[in-house]
Amino acid sequence: MSTHAPATEPDQDTISHEWLSWTRMADFSDHAPPLIVGGEGPYVIDADGRRMFDGVSGLFTTQIGYSHGAELGAAAARQLETLGFYPNWAATSPAPVELTGQVTALSPERLSRVFFTSGGSEAVESALKMIRLHWLGRGEPLRRKVIARRGAYHGCTLGALSLTGIPGARAPFEPLLPDVRHAENTDRRNYPDATRDSAWLDATTAAIERMIVAEGPHTVAAVVLEPVQNAGGCLVPPEGYGARLREICDRYGILLWCDEVITGFGRLGAWFGSELLGFDADVVTFAKGITSGQAPLGGMLFTDDVAAPLLDGGALYAHGFTFGGHPLACAVALANLAIMHREGVVENVRSLESHLDGLLAGVVDGSDLVVEARGRGFFRAIELRDASLLPAARDAIRRNGVIVRLDDRVNPCLAISPPLISTAEELDGMAAGIAAGLAEVG
Ligand SMILES: Cc1ncc(COP(=O)(O)O)c(C=O)c1O
């Protein structure tokens, strides 16, 4: 095991004073939340010593699993001994520079500039503002609108939340930014007349084009989307969707922005999902997998063309976070990328993708509770027939040794995204645990 239980067990009373993210704290008024104390490979270990397969990779983060703490820690220690921190405000340091080189080398060719943040929502905010400044610099101040998609999650800060198309997440904080519109996503069930794949492609891309035209193309700054939309249950677009959207954006001079906070850094079996699916994006936001979640880091990649008006006009990018591109997080990211290369994790996802297809098809066939399994690479969801089944299903699967995430934001789904180092045998075990849990509920 790479990590160990803390020397002293956390005090039960103190646990309930930590306010948790996206949590109804009232649920924990009479019992403590799960306490995870360690990990090994794709497994985590809780305070009772139970070893569970981490079927969500933390939160779509932990590409390399939990056994590389010593190596990541040594990289972090070296960085702290050399330079504990220096801000990236009109200055830089070796770790973010080296990481810039590596990220631009791994990313689609046109994406030559990187801005680092501490996480995904900050990355999305940063892109939103970069795009505003781009169009101001181009002398097109009316291009402020961003077209996002229904059901998509892009973060929880108010700008990112404005792009988020989940009514329940938005409602308490409205009014949000006015210049955002939400077009229909790629869920095939939105297009009941589209019996053939080509008709589905036409219909789902036309939904975005119609919105651009209705709003007035000269007012639209960007289209933002995840290559595979998470909320809704891994909505994989039809073949050709990326290329068609690129054509539409080019037709109206609009920037195409792929939010790869989840799909970046290997999850779909390519370093960047936007490249795999042919989007040729102008802007890409990323986070999570760049450090395998083991230090907080995110950022955006963008093209020279996006940067040009700021460079030509000498404009200030009036935006940045004290801890953006923290040298410690960049050092951990570099160590993580070295491990990902060495262990061949992207290749692992590609080689096990069809094995995982088969395993999840077996889960679907074996349970009356399941509508279907969707996804690409190691980014999957199982949709259940009824949202009321989700908590019992999640808990039963957990009792069978597998952590999955309940996602009822759009469709009733269990999110399944194993660490990218998982072996065929470990995936077999995961699928068996899911099947056994569903059978208990069924
Ligand atoms: C597509 C996407 N964008 C943005 C975010 C926000 O990232 P963070 O939680 O790091 O702020 C998320 C988080 O899951 C995400 O999935």
Whether the predicted pLDDT of 109 surpasses 70:
yes
Compute the average pLDDT of residues 185-201.
97
Please classify residue 178 by burial: count the beta carbons closer than 10 Å to its beta carbon, then call 0-12 exposed, 13-18 middle and 19+ buried. exposed
9 pLDDT band, cuts 50/70/90, is confident
Ligand 1: distance of its center to the CA of 162 in Å? 13
Asked whether residue 8 carries a pLDDT value surpassing 70, the answer given is no
- Indicate whether residue 287 lines ligand 1 (CB < 6 A): yes
d(CA 345, CA 325): 24
Asked if the bond preceding 175 is cis, omega within 30° of 0, the reply is yes
pLDDT-derived band at 16, boundaries 50, 70, 90: confident
The residue to mutate among 23, 262, 279, 405, having the most atoms of ligand 1 within 8 angstroms of its beta carbon, is 262
**422 Cβ closer than 6 Å to some ligand 1 atom:** no
Determine phi and psi for 119, rounding to 5 degrees: -175, -175
Determine the pLDDT at residue 33: 92
pLDDT of 364 strictly over 70: yes
Q: What is the pLDDT of residue 6?
A: 54
The span from the CA of 357 to the CA of 346, in Å, is 17
Average pLDDT, rounded, for the chain: 96
pLDDT of residue 11: 77
Per-residue pLDDT, averaged over 61-83, amounts to 98
* Fold exhibited by the domain 72-342: Aspartate Aminotransferase; domain 2 (3.40.640)
261 CA → ligand 1 middle, Å: 6
Rounded mean pLDDT, 230-248 = 98
- What does the angle CA 224 – CA 323 – CA 70 come to, to the nearest 5 degrees? 100
**Protein fold of 12-67+344-441:** Aspartate Aminotransferase, domain 1 (3.90.1150)
Strand partners, 376: 379
Least reliable range by pLDDT among 12-26, 180-194, 224-238, 428-442? 12-26
259 lines ligand 1 (CB under 6 A): yes
> What is the model's pLDDT at position 15?
82
- Percentage of the chain exceeding pLDDT 90: 95
Q: Which of 393, 373, 386 is nearest to 438 (CA)?
A: 393
CA of residue 257 to ligand 1 center, whole Å: 14
Instruction: Give the residue extent of every domain in the chain.
Output: 12-67+344-441, 72-342
Does the pLDDT at position 7 exceed 70?
A: no
Its pTM stands at: 0.97
Please state the rounded mean pLDDT for residues 177-184: 98
The pLDDT score that the predictor gives to residue 1 is 45
Q: How confident is the model at residue 209 (pLDDT cuts 50, 70, 90)?
A: very high
Residue 401 has pLDDT above 90, yes or no: yes
pLDDT band of residue 346 (cuts 50, 70, 90) is very high
Q: Indicate whether 10 pLDDT > 90.
A: no
- CB of 121 within 6 A of ligand 1: the answer is yes
Q: Which residue among 61, 118, 122, 153 has the greatest number of ligand 1 atoms within 8 angstroms of its CB, and so is best to mutate?
A: 153
Number of H helices, E strands in the chain: 15, 15
